A and B are shown apart, each in its own frame.
Chain A
Amino acid sequence: MALTGLVLIGFVFVHMAGNLQVLAGQAQINAYAHSLQSLPWFILWGSRLFLLASVVIHAWTAYSLIIENRKARPDKNEVEVTKRAGWSSLKMGLTGSILLAFIVFHLLHFTIRTIYPEYAEMTTTVGSTADVEIHDAFSMILAGFKHDIISIFYVVAMFLLCRHLAHGFSSVFQSIGLRTEAWQGKLDLIASGYAWLIFAGFSIIPISVLAQKHGLYEFYDPSFFVSEASEKTNTSNLLNNES
């Protein structure tokens, strides 16, 4: 539990740092995405399988623990009270389950691209060093987050991840035996800070796309948002003409 948790704690940071390159523009993120895609197959698939195995083992252990724990306390107290544990600690199963569903959705959305198969056909030479067509990760991310509902779902999922990490990260130290009372406060603070950093880093991308779509702030090259706007004006013009 703790070991797979540690792997995933490390992974979310690397993933977040990678994602933030979207803010640096199309060339930067496309080049980064392409460099990942063109890693030797055994490294690429090795890491993918390693991460997938971590998620599966993490979830499997969690569910078996929950089942064992329910058996250990079959009769509930008439009055159930909680003295110390907070919401994030008590709801690890709930936040974890939603995150598991999120991971499946996220892979189908941006990695396997079954939800919008057209994302796979987005190619460009921007960001390519050899002037060949590469996958246009930038356009895909922008297209993906232009859907309000999907973006909101991503932000909510990242908030749940933040809560999951706040308990999980500090709990790791206890489970592997490194926490002491003297360090507990500091470790909880580090875990909480890390959790909010991950939340902010991931959420800024869907939020920035939505903000630009709704005309609040220009984060990206406005030409990527033109087509929709012009389509809208065209239709409204047509309507005006008809009337």
Chain B
Amino acid sequence: MKLTLKIWRQSGPTENGSFESHVLDDVSEDSSFLEMLDQLNEQLLKQGNEPVAFDHDCREGICGTCSLTINGYAHGPENSTTTCQLHMRKFNDGETVTIEPFRAKAFPVVRDLIVDRSAFDRIIQSGGFISVRTGSAPDGNSIPISKVDADKAMDAAACIGCGACVASCKNASAMLFTSAKAAHLNLLPQGQAEKDARVLNMVSTMDESGFGNCRNYGECSAACPKDISLDYIAKLNRDHAKAKIKKIFS
């Protein structure tokens, strides 16, 4: 199939970016979106041009490294799919595909389609962990956890931290990411000791990083490749309110 690619090019974080168009002939329907970009880069290199920089790692939908806003959709128009798992058969022959970086003030562009998502790492560093004594492994099942809680925590832990929630949010809010990362630990007994501090710190780091505010549109969950539920945002709001009230009275 033949495609026209309208791609965002930006040579550095402080430079102004703009769109560049390239025509790519003979794209296999069976190739993934990233393989199609590899094909474009080979073509650009042969022509003596600078290849397009884009993020990728595992290419099997579990690492959260690939990004890209494709035709306006974070990770493309397919539901529950990362860019690396999106295949070219979902596009039409002769189509113009617009490819942009994830856009948010908290995700500055490094180069072309690569954005700096270290704001997510800072949120994790501020509370997305539990403090444990290191040493030999604890006995299995020494702390009983109900199946219901284990499942909910596992669903939250499915978040791969790709940032599609921020990119798809009209307000570049990181509530879905932060709520999933907080809920995953807050739901388990091991997470209880630091629960209040975790919620307060993660939310304040999120706010300081320049993410927007949640307005309950639900665009984040709709774009999420791992279908993280809006329930976790409600839970984060609930846990945050509780922690704040406790802080006032302590």
Contact = CB atoms under 8 A, between A and B. Distances in A.
Nearest to A92: B215
Interface stretch (B27-35, B83-91, B136-144, B170-178): B170-178
Interface string B199-238: 0000000000011111111110111000001110111111
B98 A72 contact: no
Interface in A97-137: none
Nearest to A93: B215
Given A175-B237, A177-B234, A177-B241, A75 B217 contact: no
B234 A89 contact: no
Contacts of A173: 234
A85 B219 CA distance: 6
A83 B213 contact: no
A237 interface: no
A84 to B, nearest CB: 4
A69 B174 CA distance: 12
B22 to A, nearest CB: 15
Interface stretch (A29-37, A50-58, A178-186, A200-208): A178-186
Given A167-B216, A175-B237, A176-B237, A78 B19 contact: yes
B72 A79 contact: yes
A78 B100 contact: yes
A89 B214 CA distance: 12
A242 interface: no
Nearest to B229: A181
A130 to B, nearest CB: 49
A171 interface: yes
Which of A80, A83, A85 has the most chain B CB atoms inside 10 A of its CB?
A: A83
Given A73-B104, A78-B100, A174-B237, A181 B231 contact: yes
Interface in A38-82: 65, 68-69, 71-82
A184 B218 CA distance: 12
B73 interface: yes
A176 B218 contact: no
Range, interface on chain B: 35 or more
B71 interface: yes
A85 B73 contact: no
Contact of A179 (B72, B212, B222, B231): B231
Interface in B164-207: 168-173
A140 B1 CA distance: 71
Nearest to A72: B212
A62 to B, nearest CB: 10
A90 interface: yes
B21 to A, nearest CB: 12
A102 to B, nearest CB: 22
B171 A174 contact: no
A73 to B, nearest CB: 4
B103 interface: yes
13 contacts: A65-B213, A68-B212, A71-B212, A73-B103, A73-B104, A77-B69, A81-B72, A84-B221, A90-B170, A176-B237, A177-B241, A179-B230, A181-B230
Interface of A: 65, 68-69, 71-85, 89-90, 92, 167, 170-171, 173-181, 184
Given A68-B213, A84-B217, A90-B170, 8 more contacts: A69-B170, A79-B71, A82-B217, A83-B219, A85-B217, A89-B217, A174-B230, A174-B234
The 6 lowest CB-CB distance pairs between A and B, nearest first, are A177-B238, A72-B212, A79-B72, A81-B72, A69-B171, A85-B217
